């Protein structure tokens, strides 16, 4: 048994896609959410990590050996600038301290590609860390403290930067989910022209990557992406094709917003450390459509 | 009346040297310490800022318009690497949020020259921010979050980097205080050869600088130093001369430790913003000797 892992943000989009991968590696999975779902494949705990006493009691009670910290403020449209980013830096540091005090020895944190400078050729080891938003700055700053403090706390740590993720449970406020849902419904959907090149990763592959990072001792920051850039428009048209539809995705139906031209991960550090490789993109898109066929609630 | 200022770490070496400067500018000064001293020139509050409930209650009770946040873990020899640095980042962020929520609009934080890369020519605007210690990394990370979040919280903020400070109340575990005390006592004192060049600032001048920063709206980071580099050995021999002693300071009596050759502030941003300039170094050294004559308790 590799150990007992505490997963924060476990009921969120990314969290739900990590639990099975951790269980498959033999971890005893303890999942935390403010409002846990009513299902029992893992042990759920109800706690608000922004309440210091709840955080302390949770960690002291579970006594995890491993930590996967995904929880953060994530309200669509607001999270980039929200003051809650400040709270989550503080809560994450308290969590690290409580985890170490309870005997934990391996912690993995969710970072973001928004830690990088997006104005140049993003992203590689040569890309400066220069977040342009309070969200990116908060994650970047948390990573700096964790990097500096974890060794002294006896904690081996990794920082996994999330890029662009799609898949089961993605909120339909986001583009791939909104298009997948429209396609399944047979409804037209207005999109921007989608010229921007992004690194899209299936959520199940991201979950595997996080589980692999939890289950190793590789230290430092890892970019969690496929390494493959694809135009958003290309991805959406491929989704339409896989859905067996035609003419529903209306590229250019929404006005263009200023967007960085290209944001693509360089996952070679991750691959070298844990042997991870992403699955087939089409398989991920198919699984996403299948999930919406099963789970769309109008 | 400029407002009501809450000063954390107020019973510490730097804190004690800021209170009079703030009061002189017309601030209603509220000073916080875990164990406030028994004197009443300002309003003291007993609170442990690492206890979230105490922090919240303090700020909600005082409702300061201004904040000077000096409190940090400062145990000699331990603070560079201590895990408490993590706690103080978290507590400082909670303090910022509580301060903004209580209507505060101007906050000044204590930074450190240890945020800079000390391996090159330190320090100027061209010196990279590359802290080599958990202490420096924690301060640097806190600054990054404050920079990114303060505008959204409606808080005007400044970050004052402390360099090398001496004066009344300096703990005698530190070199200038230990030598001043020995000189007043007439005891010999072993020192290193003292080749390193440092920017030494009298604590009263630092207190004036912090008070000036609190009492303006200039935003960003400011290096709080004299701008003048002096060899440590030169400073200690001058202190001996001013004490009217001879032969007590034994340079080279302690083995040399590896030290950066030169760490000198560039206070031009501060001077430009608030018109501050340091006082005469000899006057500061005289005042330090006078303080030890009055306050040495064997």
String of DSSP letters for B252-294: TSS------SEE---THHHHHHH------HHHHHHHHHHHHHH
C-alpha B288, offset from chain centre: 16
Residue of B nearest to A134 (CA): B148
A104 touches chain B (CB under 8 A): no
Please state, in angstroms and rounded to a whole number, the distance separating the CA atoms of residues B278 and B33: 27
Query: Would you call A145 and B137 a contact, using CB atoms and an 8 Å cutoff?
Result: yes
Give the tokens for residue A144: 């700096």
A94: which chain B residues are within 8 Å (Cβ-Cβ)? 87, 90
Q: For B163, list phi and psi in degrees, rounded to 5.
A: -105, -115
Q: How confident is the model at residue B234 (pLDDT cuts 50, 70, 90)?
A: very high
Decide: B39 and B65 in contact? Cβ < 8 Å: no
Query: Looking at the predicted complex, does its ipTM rise above 0.90?
Result: yes
Looking at residue B297, its pLDDT comes to: 81
pLDDT digits (tens, 9 = 90+) for B15-65: 999 999 999 999 999 999 999 998 778 999 999 999 999 999 999 999 999
Note the helical H segments in chain B.
13-16, 19-24, 52-62, 84-101, 134-149, 175-185, 203-214, 232-242, 268-274, 281-295
Whether pLDDT at B1 is above 70: no
pLDDT digits (tens, 9 = 90+) for A179-222: 999 999 999 999 999 999 999 999 999 999 999 999 999 999 99
Distances B241 to A17, A26, A164, B168, B235 between C-alpha atoms, Å: 71, 71, 67, 19, 10
| Chain A nearest CA to B114, separation (Å) | 13
Q: Please state the pTM of the whole predicted model.
A: 0.96
A134: which chain B residues are within 8 Å (Cβ-Cβ)? 148-149, 152
Q: How confident is the model at residue A39 (pLDDT cuts 50, 70, 90)?
A: confident
Q: How confident is the model at residue A120 (pLDDT cuts 50, 70, 90)?
A: confident
C-alpha B190, offset from chain centre: 26
Looking at residue B180, its pLDDT comes to: 98
Q: How confident is the model at residue B256 (pLDDT cuts 50, 70, 90)?
A: confident
Q: How confident is the model at residue A297 (pLDDT cuts 50, 70, 90)?
A: confident
Of B86, B97, B153, nearest to A93 by CB-CB distance is B86
Tell me if residue B251 falls in helix, strand or coil.
strand
Q: How confident is the model at residue B142 (pLDDT cuts 50, 70, 90)?
A: very high
């Amino acid at each position: 048994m590799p150990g007992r892992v505490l997963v924060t943000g476990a009921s969120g989009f990314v969290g739900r896609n990590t639990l099975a991968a951790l269980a498959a590696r033999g971890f005893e999975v303890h999942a935390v959410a403010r409002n846990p779902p009513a299902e029992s494949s893992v042990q759920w705990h109800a706690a608000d990590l922004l309440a210091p006493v709840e955080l302390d009691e949770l960690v002291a009670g579970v006594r995890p050996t491993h930590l996967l910290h995904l929880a953060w403020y994530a309200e669509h449209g607001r999270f980039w600038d929200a003051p809650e980013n400040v709270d989550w830096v503080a809560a994450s540091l308290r969590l690290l301290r409580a985890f170490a005090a309870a005997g934990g020895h391996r912690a993995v944190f969710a970072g973001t590609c928004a830690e990088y400078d997006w104005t140049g050729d993003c992203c590689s080891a040569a890309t400066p860390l220069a977040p342009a938003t309070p969200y990116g700055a908060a994650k970047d700053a948390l990573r700096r403290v964790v990097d500096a403090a974890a060794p002294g706390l006896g904690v081996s740590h990794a920082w996994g930067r999330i890029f662009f993720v799609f898949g089961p449970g993605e909120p339909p406020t986001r583009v791939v989910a909104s298009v997948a849902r429209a396609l399944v419904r047979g409804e037209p959907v207005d999109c921007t022209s989608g010229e921007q090149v992004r690194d899209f990763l299936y959520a199940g592959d991201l979950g595997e990557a996080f589980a692999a990072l939890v289950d190793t001792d590789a230290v430092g920051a890892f970019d969690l992406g496929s390494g493959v850039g694809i135009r958003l428009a290309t991805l959406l048209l491929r989704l339409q094709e896989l859905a067996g539809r035609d003419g529903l995705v209306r590229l250019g139906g929404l006005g263009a917003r200023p967007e960085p031209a290209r944001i693509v991960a360089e996952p070679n550090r991750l691959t070298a450390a844990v042997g991870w490789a992403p699955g087939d993109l089409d398989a991920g898109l198919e699984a996403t459509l299948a999930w919406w066929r099963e789970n769309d609630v109008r």
